[in-house]
Structure formats: structure tokens, C-alpha cells
Chain A
């Protein structure tokens, strides 16, 4: 009897692209330590799966030359994830196959797949039901045809976001046909191309300005603000078949800082002019918008202003009503007699540096929510069997830091956050002066260097060294306070950017970026263990430590 089922991966990204050929399979492996290699993570071509129109799966070995094509003549190759159905039954567990079903008294006829995708970006800001774009398909276990996910506003909603009869393709899905080579039940998700869509009257909208005759003040204001917030739409082209957003939908009239509200908001702002000056730097436009709107105003998102806009005719950020074919969704597989299996899918942009990784990934974030306690357990480092895993985990984090630093213009972002520090320190309750706040970061101009980008060069070299196990181990032994001193403490109250790592990066809470609490605690445990081992080796006498 079938006891339970689940889908893997529990979460997958379907990355958009315009090519009709899915991105081939590849994986990350150990750094390229060949003499002229990057010293960083390598990508390796792996076996791919192709699915025929009738759902038949075949394995395609990686090319003999190991190449991976990310973009071809048609465009970017989309990442099209598979979701495999697994389960547990009397006497076993693993992939669900027709044989397993049969053993449990079931057939493919008892299997149903559902895919539900939703783009609620516009709805989230307007609250109008008709601004939702959703698609749903239900597929029988025996249906192996490609099915389209056609996103539409809810039936019957007032002023729906799309013109009558139009839809946005949010992806396609196909349930594969089990065969001897690939008996497992799986579904493949093909993302859409990644297009943007606009209202039918888009070209008229981008040229609209407040009327100088109706309200000269607004006209003047729009002209002035356009210098800072405006974008050049003059040669913008969009195919006619993407002009499908309904100009009458609430989304097309959404905006932030309506001109008609500005006089009142500016009066409210008068007691806070010092703070307004403080956040008026280039680095802080979104905070200026929040400040002008007022502390109780609903600006929609953090940061606000996450939509295509022009300055005027009605608001400082006057939405253009643009939408896209991105979404997130839920894949459900139902089999008679057991609870359904779920997986989440997020349609996402391409990963443009496929061999480089984040210091904190979404996977790390999920682990931090649920798996903190285990790294605080002394067994995390004390158990010889798991100590190597802990070391590998820390080494990997250092490699990721190097990979990220290796692609950043650190000089530019250092200058950016120096300015942001200075503006934040201009706030009334700041404990430091703007000059002191600037000095918390590097003064790139004063660094004696023969390099064009001195901080970038130094940063890369340091991260390069740190990614060598022998080097960083010794560093941790030589500097007992290495982690506490040089790694930013998660969640600390300090809101100014300083030189601790990860440096000159912004976190999800807009404050200086930090690694997760779990990563931080693991690093501390790792360093403590290294030092304890060193002390034990010393206690054992000179030369007693091994050279592993």
C-alpha cells in the first residue's frame, strides 16, 4: 500500500529564455585548480534528459568536449526543471513508477497533476482582484502532451488587467511517459520567454505630461523631478502583440506620490527636513520616497517603486501599467488514497554567471529558519565523522565569498556606501558625524596603489587566499577573534556600513548584509575547534600536531 508521496525538488527555479532548446544539464564542482584555471567553482556538463512530444524521455550524454551552450541563435536557453514523484510504500521507498503503482493496486489513471501559477505583482499593489494573472491546468497521469499555462485575470473580475480574450503565457508543462529506461513519474516545467507587456495605449502614456495650462505648478514640478527620476522612453519599442494590458485596469493608474497629495505631504515633512536632506542622496531615493509619503503611508513594497514608471502626469512615480510573464506556482500531484505531494516553482531571470555563487543562497536562508540549533550542538565539530563536513561547509562559504567579490567593482560600491553612510549619519539621532560614518569604509582615493581599482584588486587577492584551506585555517589560529572581528554579526543594531564581511553589500532588510545566523554560528564553532586543536597540539609538545 502506498503510504505517502512527495516531489523533488521541493522548490525549483524555471529560468526564462527565448530559445526553444532547454538549457542542458550541468553542475558545480570543486574549484578549477588547473594551472591556468580560475581557482573558483567550475561548471561541468552532465547527462541531460530530452522529452519527446509524446512524453518519452531519453538520456542525452554531455558533449564530448564538455561544452555547455547557454545562449544560441534563438536566444537564451531556458532552464526547465523536472519534478520527480517519490514515495513510501509497504516494503520500500523511492521513485514512484507504474510498477510501484501496480503493486499498490493503482494505475496511472489514479494519478493527477495540477499546476497553478500566479503573478500577483500588480494585485499586491492595487488590491484589485482583476489585477491578478493566474493560470491553472489539471493533467491526468496518462496525458503526456505539452500543456500551456495561459495566465488570465479572474473570470468576472471588474476591469481585468488584460484585454478581453488575451492572456500571458506563464509557462508550459508536460507529464512524461514512463518507459523502461525512465519508469519514474515526472513533470517538466518550461518557463515563458521572460517578456514584458504594456497597456494598449502605452505609446501615448509615455509621452504624457501634466498640462501646463491646467496646473503650471505640477508641470514645473514634473519637469524638475524628471531630471532625477525620469527615464528616456523615446526609442522604446514593444511588439504590438504585447500591448495587451487593459488601460482601464486599476494597475494602469497606480502610482506613488500623487501630485495632488504632495502639498500636504510636504507640509507634514517640514518638521523632518533634516532627515529628508539625510536621505536625499543618490544612494537613497527609495528612502526619500518613503519619507515624503509619511510613516503610515502604504508604499506597497520594500523598497517602494518596483514598477516601470514615468514622472507624471499624475504622480512622481506614475506607473506605466507594465507586467511580465514571471510568476510563482504550486505543482500538486494527487494519487488516490494518499495525501497530495507538492512542490513550488518560481519563474526567474537567468543566472548570468552560472559558475559563480552567492555567499547566502535561498537554500541557506531556508536552513537558517529551521536548522540553527544543530550547528550550536558541540557534536557539530566534536564528532570526527562530521568535522570534515563542517570544514567543507566553511571552505565552501569562503569560496562563495571569493566568487562574489571576484565579480564586483568594490571601489564603486565602497564609494556608494560611503555616501549612504554619510547621509544616514546626517539624521538627527545619529551617534556619529557624516565624516566619521564615511571613514567607516575605505578611502579608495587615498590608497597608494598602482591599480586602477585598488580596493577591487586587494579584495580579490585577499578572498583568493582565504579560499585556500591551509591559509584560512592558519589565519583562524593566528587570530583568535577572527570571526567576531571580521565577520558582521547577524542582526546586530549597527546600521552603518563598515569593513566587516560581507562588505559593501546590502541585506534583505536594507541594512549591511550579513551571513545567516546559522552560517555565523558554524564559522564560530569551526574556528573554536581549530584553536582548541592547536592548543591540544601544543599541550602535547612541540611537533606533536599532525600535518593533515
Chain B
């Protein structure tokens, strides 16, 4: 019976569940359901699912804990489709002696890696863990199982002759399937070879892989009798609960948590710009810590330090009930939902769309401010061309021993990452805007924040002085939790917008629209909070270093008068134009092709990145001059749709994307400096690839 009191969707996915498992039983909390249990049993928490694998071939039971594979420990002839003359007594009574035991030699059948092909897997002599893996990967189909004594114990050559007949699993399986339809005249459906004393030497059996569940979705009690599902778990359970690293079970036994709210204090300080660097509210505590001992100032980064002062197994047996629960990553004993901050003037759909356009201009401005600040740092260049999933970059050689250099590099890296995220915010704000029927805009705010309620900060390209850093922090600082719903910061505006969208579902009747908007805006809010925290950490990292020691560019944008810097500034501006054109073109494509186009447009960013570093080496910054087709948006301005080519079609726009960079590149290609000429060549090649890529996509 369904629980009709629920008002929000359950996270139950019936298509992913076995028979009867989708049923929601009235009154049952979700932690009673198999979705709450851990499958990577080693040996597990709720039960050890590998206990089912022991009986993967109904009628035979194996144990896997051996270095040479799996040992046959029980025969249940009543479950075998073709038992031949096997009986339970064919498992040697003294099979503790490996020489007397029967071992799993081969499994023939279809495996998940190549489900269309039947193969014979040689498993004798391999570790038992490999057999666990092989049985788990078996497809739900007919399998061949070959068991036998250790090869040294066999009576050769009769065993060889016998075995040779059965090494083509496809033939055996075909024979078996024929036999199911009464066509069992063929001899090849297995067999048993016994020695003179009647002891099994080799057994070849064919049959269906276990279904594991009954037709009603119950783990088959005939296959896995009562007591076997948990027989391999630890005795007592608390011992292993303490012992096992959370690399199995973070969702059940968390690893790293926040302290209880009453010990943590406010996450966002109201009386200072940043929280203290070792603030008590951070998510750095070991859940399994010995709570009678002091908490270290910094979280451990090594296993040895992490396990220090952790509850031991005897502690866990005695005191496991002192463990709190963890909700929203915070230790507690009671879950209390967070009420939404109240707001008086919820924005309707039209207002949300208008505000998104304004926010896009602010994201553009912030992104540029952060980039300018990052390139002002006297730090080793950070490679730009990075694809998803790549490792974090390594500290450049030589910096490991250079504390100032390492801290400056880390700060630069963090600011760059934040700037990249702001680029994504620019994209997401525009995507949200377009979901609401608006037009993408790439105008840039001249003032961040709107009158009358929002704090006004003029757009300012400046090096990463402490003052500029503090301005970044104050822009990103989240509005105090629940206390101040008025939009006074960037986060506040998004907060207001998010609450409006949550509270006015009627404004978003299109299927999935409200959720998509909420996801995108929430992501921007969350990353904004992380920007605040990370800028605070950047501030901390630069503590004690003179600005003159960590800055390479010490002023706002100034026009260079000497070469190659004047040309490089022109080139950087051209790339800025090119990048914006690429982004505009990309945004205006349908959702389905946006991703592949963006990958192309990103190439101009790589060139800009390289150019900015070259300028920085001369003490110059990128001017970030707005191209003529992009406007500066004032505090009360209305952003315009982006349209660099005045209504030209996409193909024409793609051709024009790289145009602004051609002339400055030509000039640099004639530079007296061979390195500059080489870089110009490389840039041209990157641009050509970008245009070709865009052309290919749009053709």
C-alpha cells in the first residue's frame, strides 16, 4: 500500500528494482529498504551479498577464501538440473586437506564484459577474490562448471582425456539447452569422473546460473538458507565497524563531519569578514573520533594521523551508542528541516528573467575582475588546457621548498579556479535566462549590485591587493543564514530568486522547468559560498607576504607603450572579443549541441591565458576592453541580447569568431623575438582549429 501522506517524490526507481522491491510499505522508514544497504561487502554492514555468489550454480556451494581459488564445500543434488550420480557425500569429509578437496577449475558462460560471447574462464590457481569477481560478472544464463581435485592429485592421463571433451563451453551449453527440450540424445551435458574408490576426480556440470531471487523477489531460502547471509560478518559487529575504513561505507558510517550546531557557532561570521582559519564549524572532524580527546587544529591528511585518537575496536563495542547521527554532514540526534527564509516580494517569472539578465552581467564583471587579479600575481604559469577529470595540477618544481612561492602559486591557482567557475556562472545564468524565454546577454556590469537594496561595488580591474581581495570576499559573502533575506550581496539576489522560484511553482508549468532552474541557481549559490570560503583562505595564504613580493602587476590596466606588450594587449583584447563571440554563439545553439560547441569556444580562452601571462611578465595587465557589440550595463540598465554580427546566421558568426585576433596575430608573427613568433604561430593554429571545429559542428 502506498503511503498517501507523502507530499514529495520518493527516491525510489522501480525500473532499477527486482520483483516486488518497488513497493513502499506503509510505516517503513527508508533505511529498512535494500536501497539503504551497502553492496561493496567486504564483508558488509547489512548482509554479505557475496554469500549468494557461493551458490552461483544451484546445487554446488563454494568458499572463496583461498589463495588458489574456490573450494567446493557442499553439494545439494536436489538443486542440480543434471545431478548425474552426485550426492552430498561427494564432498570429501576430510576436505580441510586441500589435496582431498574439490576445487573450482573453470566457469564457462557469458560474462558482462562481452555478453555476446561464451568463454571458459580458468580459475584454478587464481586468488579467491578473482573467483568472487568472475561469479559476480556472470550473466543470467546457462553456465558450465568444472570442479576437480588439485591437478597433482589427479589420475592422469584418464583425467586429461575426460576433460578434453568438455573444454568447449558453447557446445556443452547448446547440448544442455537441447536437453531441456527433450533432445537429450547428445552426450555432452557434462559428466563425473571418479577414481577407483568412487571419489570424484572431475565433475563437469551444466545448468542455469542461479536466479538468486524467487519469483516474488525474495533471496531464495533454498539457495541461501537462513543464517548464511550474515555468517561472514564480524563477530561482534562493532569490531569491524570500528576497523573498516569509510572507503566502503561513507553513506552509512560517515568519515568526515561537522560538529553539532551548538558547538560550531555560525558558519558565516557576522562580526568579521572571514571565519577564523581553524574555525570550529568546518567539516573536518573524524566521526569515529575518541570524543574524550581534544580535536586537532587541522584535519589529518594521512591515514596514520586520521586514525590517531580514533575509537578502537574495544571502544566501539562498549560505546557505539554514543555515536551521533549525521544529517546534512552535521552531527545531531534529531533532524529538523530548515524553514525557507521569508521574503515579502516574491519575484514572478518575468522578474526572475529580468534579474537573471542583470546577474549575468555581474557574473561577467566578476569573472574579468578575478582574471585580472589572478594574472597580477607573481606566480609560475598555470597550464590552461585541462580537460574534465584531469588531476589537480602539481606544484611546479622548486616551489616545494619555497614557502612564499608555494603560497602565492596556490593563491593564484585558487583564484583562477574561482574565475573559471564564474565563467560557468555566466553561462548558467544565461542558460537559466534562456530556459525562461529570454535572450543570452554578454553585457558587462559597470556596478555590481542594483539600487536601492543591493550594495554597490563599481567594476574595478585591479591587482590582487589585500583591499581588492577583501572586496571580492564581501561580494561573495553569503547573506547571513535566515536573518537577512534582503538581497545585499550576489548570494542574496540569487537567494531571493531561488525562494521566489520555490514558492511560485505556478509560474513554471513546463515539465521539469522549475527543477532545472532551481538546480542551476542553487549551484551558483553553492559555488558562491565556496568562493567566499576560498577567497578567505587565499587571504590567509597570503598573510605575512608583502604585496610587493607577491604582485607582478601593481596597478590597474594601463596601456603599454612598448612592444611586444602593446601588441599583446591588443591580442588579449581580441581574444576577449573572440571568447565572448564563441560563448554567444554557443549559448544561442540548442541545448543539445551547446556542450560540443563550448568545447571549441574554450580554445580562445587558452590563447588569452597565455597572452595574459606574457603581459604579466612585463608588469602589464589585460585591458579587457569591451568589444563594440558588448555594452557596459549601468546600475539601472537593461542588458541587451548578445549579437556580434547583427543578425547574421550561425555559420557566418562562426566564420567571424576569430576575426578580431587575426590582425594583432599578424603583427606578433613579425616580432623580432623568436619566442613571440613561435607563440603567435601556435595561437593561430589553435584559432584555426576552433573555427574549423565550429564550422564542422554547424555545417
Contact = CB atoms under 8 A, between A and B. Distances in A.
A354 B136 contact: no
Nearest to A84: B25
A518 B209 CA distance: 17
Interface stretch (A104-112, A139-147, A218-226, A468-476): A468-476
B300 A342 contact: no
B388 A308 contact: no
Interface stretch (A208-216, A259-267, A412-420, A429-437): A412-420
Contact of B314 (A30, A231, A482, A485): A231
Binding site of A, secondary structure by majority: helix, strand, loop or mixed?
mixed
Nearest to A136: B226
A454 to B, nearest CB: 7
Interface in A273-297: 282-283, 290-291, 294-297
B340 interface: yes
Given A10-B217, A367-B17, A447-B394, A81 B239 contact: no
B596 A453 contact: no
Given A13-B46, A66-B337, A416-B303, A537 B13 contact: no
Contacts of B526: 39, 464
B431 A67 contact: no
Given A408-B255, A450-B534, A341 B30 contact: no
Given A302-B129, A355-B327, A68 B388 contact: no
Interface stretch (B200-208, B355-363, B495-503): B495-503
A353 B505 CA distance: 30
17 contacts: A37-B338, A47-B3, A118-B226, A194-B320, A197-B236, A237-B318, A324-B237, A324-B238, A330-B226, A354-B325, A357-B11, A363-B33, A364-B35, A409-B306, A413-B245, A511-B133, A534-B596
A392 interface: yes
A329 B603 CA distance: 60
A227 interface: no
Contacts of B498: 33-35
Contacts of A237: 318
A546 B592 contact: yes
A428 interface: no
B241 to A, nearest CB: 6
B250 to A, nearest CB: 4
B213 A132 contact: no
Contact of B37 (A34, A348, A461): A348
Interface in B119-169: 128-130, 132-134, 136-137, 139-140
Contact of B591 (A351, A353, A548): A548
Interface string B276-293: 000000001011000000
Contacts of A301: 43, 65, 232
Given A8-B25, A370-B213, A470-B516, A545 B251 contact: no
A301 B328 CA distance: 35
A62 B591 CA distance: 41
B241 A9 contact: no
A55 interface: no
Contact of B230 (A65, A119, A447): A119
A324 B11 contact: no
A443 interface: yes
Contact of A41 (B11, B43, B481): B11
A421 B650 CA distance: 51
A48 interface: yes
A298 interface: yes
B516 to A, nearest CB: 6
Contacts of A536: 592
Interface string A64-99: 011111111001100101111010000000010000
A547 B434 contact: yes
Given A35-B495, A358-B38, A362-B49, A9 B335 contact: no
Contacts, number: 670
A374 to B, nearest CB: 8
B506 interface: no
Interface string B9-37: 11101011111110111111111111111
| Nearest 10 CB-CB pairings of A with B | A545-B590, A295-B67, A118-B227, A477-B595, A542-B650, A49-B27, A296-B98, A362-B37, A474-B595, A545-B592
A407 B218 contact: no
Interface in B459-515: 478, 481-482, 491, 494-495, 498-499, 502, 512, 515
B648 to A, nearest CB: 11
Interface stretch (B179-187, B344-352, B404-412): B404-412
Interface string B523-543: 101110010001001101100
Interface stretch (B109-117, B627-635, B678-686): B109-117
Nearest to B229: A328
Given A33-B522, A353-B252, A485-B389, A294 B67 contact: yes
B21 A468 contact: no
A27 B522 contact: no
B257 A236 contact: no
A297 B128 CA distance: 12
A354 B330 CA distance: 11
B253 interface: yes
A396 interface: yes
Contact of B599 (A121, A406, A478): A478
Nearest to B4: A47
B193 interface: no
Given A6-B217, A363-B35, 8 more contacts: A36-B482, A117-B226, A352-B287, A407-B254, A413-B247, A470-B591, A490-B137, A542-B589
B261 interface: no
A463 B537 CA distance: 21
Contacts of A49: 26-27
Interface string A443-462: 11111111111111010010
B299 A35 contact: no
B49 A506 contact: no
B275 to A, nearest CB: 13
A347 B226 CA distance: 12
A362 to B, nearest CB: 4
Range for the number of chain A residues in contact with chain B: 35 or more
A240 to B, nearest CB: 14
A357 to B, nearest CB: 5
Interface string A99-131: 000000000000000001111111110000000
B327 A534 contact: no
Interface in A390-406: 392-393, 396, 400, 403-406
B241 A342 contact: no
B80 interface: no
A162 to B, nearest CB: 14
A359 B333 CA distance: 25
A265 B231 CA distance: 27
A297 B414 CA distance: 53
A233 B136 contact: no
Contacts of B589: 537, 542-543, 545
Contact of B36 (A328, A351, A458, A486): A351
Interface in A496-532: 499, 504-511, 513, 516-518, 530
A403 B251 contact: yes
Given A30-B515, A82-B27, A10 B39 contact: no
B226 A329 contact: yes
Which one of B7, B10, B129, B530 has the greatest number of beta carbons of chain A within 10 Å?
Answer: B129
Query: Which of B19, B47, B534 is most buried by chain A, counting CB atoms within 10 A of its CB?
Result: B47
B676 interface: no
A468 B520 contact: yes
Contacts of A79: 29, 31-32
B372 interface: no
A353 B32 contact: no
B483 to A, nearest CB: 11
Nearest to B217: A10
User: Which of B66, B424, B512, B527 has most A Cβ within 10 Å?
Assistant: B66
A253 interface: no
Given A366-B212, A508-B39, A348 B46 contact: yes
